[in-house]
Amino acid sequence: MDRIKILVVDDESRMRKLVKDFLVRQNYEVIEAADGEEALDAFYADKDIALIILDVMMPKLNGWDVCKEIRSTSKVPIIMLTAKSDESDELMGFELGIDEYVTKPFSPKILVARVEAILRRTNKIGEAAACKEMGGIVLDKVAHQVTIDGKPIELSFKEFELLDYFMENAGIALSRERILNSVWNYDYFGDARTIDTHVKKLRNKMGEKGDYIKTIWGMGYKFEC
């Protein structure tokens, strides 16, 4: 299944790499551009770009000019990145038709969450989000099936949801409270055994791949390939 493509535009290579690493971890395909002209060339060269993360201050063409040009022909979602927190800049961005406005410095995890929220609103996340693949594990939400290195494994409904949640938040330390709220949909009252029991069963069924689920003592778990 094709991955959703995101264009990341920033003249700082360190910033592009930071954003790219977090997006790739969530199974997005990232196209990079170092300035406004590169951004327009990349956008017009690939009709499958689903979202643009666009820095304001750039050489050749700034983010505002790029946004104006793209908005003349496309409604592709745009998240603007800026070092300023000026209200007039923010208002200008929304007048140009951007979807989100993020001020530097920002949390990459929050940026990814905003990306996913926008893609859900624009119906770009659908079948692509229904299938996750990491480290030889393929989770298909439509078929409700998990395969490891091509071999299917049998999981209970909650084990399946737990693995889906871990893969969706790969690399992020997850507290037991957060896992219970997200997977079991109820508040945390100290019942860590519910999660620990399911994690133990899930690890056993995953065999060697069960080592991807790391224990964070005194807190919870982290899924890491």
Domain shared by 155 and 111, yes or no? no
Q: For residue 216, name the pLDDT band (cuts at 50, 70, 90).
A: very high
pLDDT above 80: residue 93: no
CA distances from 67 to 36, 58, 99 (A): 9, 12, 11
pLDDT (mean) for 73-101: 79
Domain shared by 176 and 90, yes or no? no
Note the pLDDT of residue 188.
45
| 101, 94 Cβ separation under 8 angstroms | yes
pLDDT above 80: residue 95: no
Q: Which residue type does 134 have?
A: M
Higher pLDDT, 39 or 96: 39
pLDDT above 60: residue 190: no
pLDDT above 50: residue 103: yes
For the purposes of burial, counting CB atoms within 10 Å of the CB of 25, is it exposed (0-12), middle (13-18) or buried (19 or more)?
A: middle
pLDDT (mean) for 212-217: 94
Tell me how many domains the chain contains.
Answer: 2
Domain shared by 162 and 204, yes or no? yes
Structure-token pair, residue 115: 């990306």
Q: Supply the range of the domain harboring residue 47.
A: 5-125
CATH classification of the domain holding 85: 3.40.50.2300
Q: What is the mean pLDDT of the chain?
A: 86
- How does pLDDT run across 3-48, given as a tens digit for each residue? 889 999 999 999 999 999 999 988 899 999 999 999 999 999 998 8
Domain shared by 137 and 167, yes or no? yes
- How does pLDDT run across 111-139, given as a tens digit for each residue? 888 888 888 777 655 555 567 888 999 99
Note the pLDDT of residue 44.
94
Structure-token pair, residue 160: 């399946």
Domain shared by 19 and 115, yes or no? yes
Domain shared by 106 and 211, yes or no? no
Could you give the percent of the chain with pLDDT greater than 90? 44
Q: Does residue 60 come out as left (phi exceeding 0), alpha (psi in the -120 to 50 range) or beta?
A: left
CATH classification of the domain holding 169: 1.10.10.10
pLDDT above 60: residue 166: yes
Structure-token pair, residue 86: 């000026």
